[in-house]
Amino acid sequence: MDDTLHWLDVEEIAEELDEAHPDVDPLRLGFPRLRALVEALPNFREQAGHPCNERILETIQANWIELRGGAGAGDDGDD
């Protein structure tokens, strides 16, 4: 079985990010940093014909937030 992740594997990417970055609050994460975190995953490979866009990043972020129960791990109420 191929464990390679591509941009369309949004749920799996969120799970990998949650495991790899328990200290990162997905609620406070901008898209440029989110994209960099995804691209740095060891099993991530960009696939021809499936480029990243804002909708994909939004979906990854929403899935990651959902994994955290709707709240970020590092939320210190500093708003």
CATH number at residue 34: 1.10.10
Q: Is residue 3 part of a domain?
A: no
Residue 66: which of 22, 8, 27, 20 has the closest Cα? Answer: 27
In a domain, 5, yes or no: no
Q: How many structural domains comprise the chain?
A: 1
Helical pair 54-67 and 10-20, crossing angle rounded to 10 deg? 50
> Could you read off the pLDDT of 2-56 as tens digits, one per residue?
789 999 999 999 999 999 999 999 999 999 999 999 999 999 999 888 899 999 9
pLDDT surpassing 70 at residue 1: no
Range(s) of the domain holding residue 47: 10-67
Asked if 60 and 13 touch (Cβ cutoff 8 Å), the reply is yes
